[in-house]
Amino acid sequence: WSDFQALSPEEKKPYFSENGQLFHCLHSQQFDREFIDHIYKLTNIIRSISKSKKGSLFLQGLMPHYKAMLYFMQPSTRTYLSFRTACQILGIQTSDVRDASISSEVKGETFEDTIRTFSSYFNFIIMRHPKEGYAEQAAYCLNNSERPIPILNAGSGKDQHPTQAILDIYTLRRSFEHYGGLEGKTILLAGDLLRGRTVRSLSKLITFFPGTKLILSSPEKFKMAEDVISFLDEKQMDYEVSNEFIKHLPEADAIYMTRVQDEHDTGSDKSEKSFPEFSLRAEHLSILKEHCAIMHPLPRREELDSAIDNDPRAKYWRQERNGMWARAALMTHITGYDKKIMSYWSDI
Ligand code: CP
């Protein structure tokens, strides 16, 4: 780990294979607009193909010789299940390690040896880890092994959740399909922005959409961190940092709520479970725009009133379903099977 830390950013940058194909999916900064557009189109095509029996059989026959390891060292419901279901849609076989106590890591096996062992049996490692940087470290370790396989970061500590950002952008674009697209929209991100890896990854991807504005609304102690703010400055993004919430609701085209990420509390510093003044409640619906997209990466607590669930502007259940399609698209892109999907689509 210390050897890895000492590398330059360039040396740590192992995202692409030799033919220029995306290989590892580690964090949002590695993507570009062309990639985002391709995944958007591909996700829509996979959804459409899967609607017919013939299409779903085609998808299931696409990658049956592939095997994926779901290595989840932190709790997960939807990321785990959506990746697993995406694999099932594409015929990919899966295995998982979700409990550190049943891994030989408890016998002292190193993280690197664990990852290399997975690469002996699988074609992908989809990993969630409580510590930042471990997805990059795993990619680096495999790039220097005789059997490099892609690492897909399914959430790394407080840092990044790039596949969530991909599905969030997809959901935003779908929501604004009949309202002029995502360009030019005002997106309100609210809650624990300091430790919320979803909003950190999403903020970076939104910079690819000209004219969008971000309102970063949080309690003072959970303000968006400086590294993301510097990134937004570098990209000349229009943004506002605010410790108010309700006053921004009428101007938002999308509201992205997040919960307090108290799993990252340190022993001495326990945070509040929720902040009532950063909660979206049914009584706020009347001041929202008619086309406002209400989103949440889930799971939620009090910050998002369940009385909102049946409002047509609530997109969070769709958002979690979109995760399955977007992750399937990503896996076909990484392996080059997207070309077969495109060719099948153009023939029907
Ligand atoms: N959005 C998300 O990461 O949810 P899970 O923790 O349930 O995977």
The domain segmentation of the chain, as residue ranges, is: 2-157+322-347, 162-314
Same CATH topology for 2-157+322-347 and 162-314: the answer is: yes
78 is catalytic: yes
Tell me the CA distances in angstroms from 7 to 4, 23, 129, one per residue in order. Answer: 6, 20, 21
Q: For the whole model, what pTM was predicted?
A: 0.94
128 is catalytic: yes
- Tens-digit pLDDT profile for the chain (348 aa)? 556 667 776 766 667 766 667 899 999 988 999 999 999 999 999 999 999 999 999 999 999 999 999 999 999 999 999 999 999 999 999 999 999 899 999 999 999 999 999 999 999 999 999 999 999 999 989 988 999 999 999 999 999 999 999 999 999 999 999 999 999 999 999 999 999 999 999 999 999 999 999 999 999 999 999 999 999 999 999 999 999 999 999 999 999 999 998 888 877 777 777 789 999 999 999 999 999 999 999 999 999 999 999 999 999 999 999 999 999 999 999 999 999 999 999 998
Contacting residues for 290 by C-beta, under 8 A, at least 6 apart: 313
CA 217 – CA 224 distance, rounded (Å): 9
CA–centroid distance, residue 81 to ligand 1 (Å)? 9
**Residue 78 near ligand 1, beta carbon < 6 Å:** yes
**CATH of segment(s) 2-157+322-347:** 3.40.50.1370
Catalytic choice (161, 197, 200, 315)? 161
In this structure, which residue's CA is closest to atom 5 in ligand 1? 76
CA 327 – CA 68 distance, rounded (Å): 13
Catalytic choice (43, 79, 212, 335)? 79
Single-letter code of the amino acid located at 55: G
- Reading the block at residue 204, the tokens are 């970076």
**Residue 97 near ligand 1, beta carbon < 6 Å:** no
ipTM: 0.99
CA 23 – CA 152 distance, rounded (Å): 9
Tell me the backbone φ, ψ of residue 96, rounded to 5 degrees: -140, 155
Catalytic choice (53, 54, 65, 107)? 107
79 is catalytic: yes
**CATH of segment(s) 162-314:** 3.40.50.1370
**Residue 44 near ligand 1, beta carbon < 6 Å:** no
